[in-house]
Amino acid sequence: MKKCKQCWIVMSLKSNSQLFCSRVCRSDYNKEKLRNYRNERQREKTGKYEPWKIQCLICHNRYHKVCTHIYYTHKLTSREYKEMFGKDVGKWILSEKVFEKHSRKNKENKDIVWKNLEKGKKHRYKKWQKGVGVYSRSEETLERLKNLCKYKN
Ligand SMILES: [Zn+2]
Ligand SMILES: [Zn+2]
């Protein structure tokens, strides 16, 4: 039993890849998605308060990805920012929402991620976190990283 992603009508299946009952539904769905995306972008730009966002300590606005914000707005790398405010260099400054998305994505290859973590590889680090993986990982740091991935509010 497969339902249209837009109107939830049950479809008679022609192919497994079919997500919508009609072209109208597909275009409506895409339009909505685009609108949501734009709204989110706008909210991110204005730094509007949302409880799950993280506050930038420089301008006191709130963002999902403080790292990205400080890089483009204040021209600081995440490491410089963290050093400026004495934050733990190994800590991720991602909001809960973004972090959950990441951990969900990593769920399937979690074992591999842990293995790499224990070997001290830089596997998990993205470009904008460059430099974060440089410090040597103590037992304590490893423990914290593990807890972070289990993190739920
Ligand atoms: Zn439909
Ligand atoms: Zn800021």
Model confidence pLDDT, tens digit, residues 7-18: 998 887 666 678
User: Range of 115's domain?
Assistant: 54-150
Averaged pLDDT, 105-114: 55
Q: Classify the phi-psi angles of 39: left when phi > 0, otherwise alpha if psi is within -120 to 50, otherwise beta.
A: alpha
Q: Which ligand sits nearest to residue 8's alpha carbon? A: 1
Which H, E and C letters describe 3-24, residue by residue?
ECCCCCCEECCCCCCCCCCCHH
Ligand 2 mean position to 71 CA, how many Å?
Answer: 9
- Give distance in angstroms: CA of 55 to centre of ligand 2: 8
Q: What percent of the chain has pLDDT over 70?
A: 53
Q: Give the residue carrying structure tokens 């479809």.
A: 11
Q: For residues 93-118, give the mean pLDDT.
A: 58
Handedness of CA 69, 73, 76, 82 (dihedral sign): negative
Res 55: pLDDT: 80
pLDDT band at residue 142 under the 50/70/90 scheme:
low
pLDDT for 7: 93
List, for residues 47-69, the tens digit of each pLDDT value. 777 777 788 888 888 888 888 88
**pLDDT of the residue at 123:** 43
DSSP element (H, E) containing 63: strand 62-63
Instruction: With cut-offs at 50, 70 and 90, classify the pLDDT of residue 32.
Output: very high
For residue 25, being part of any structural domain is answered with no
Number of compact structural domains in the chain: 1
Residue 4 lies in a domain: no
Q: Please choose, from the candidates 74, 77, 71, the residue with its C-alpha nearest in 3D space to the C-alpha of residue 89.
A: 77
Instruction: Classify residue 139: in a domain, yes or no.
Output: yes
Three-state SS at 120:
coil
Looking at the domain assignment, is residue 27 inside a domain?
A: no
Residue 116 confidence (pLDDT): 57
The answer to whether residue 128 sits within a structural domain is yes
Distance (Å) from CA 15 to ligand 1 centroid? 15
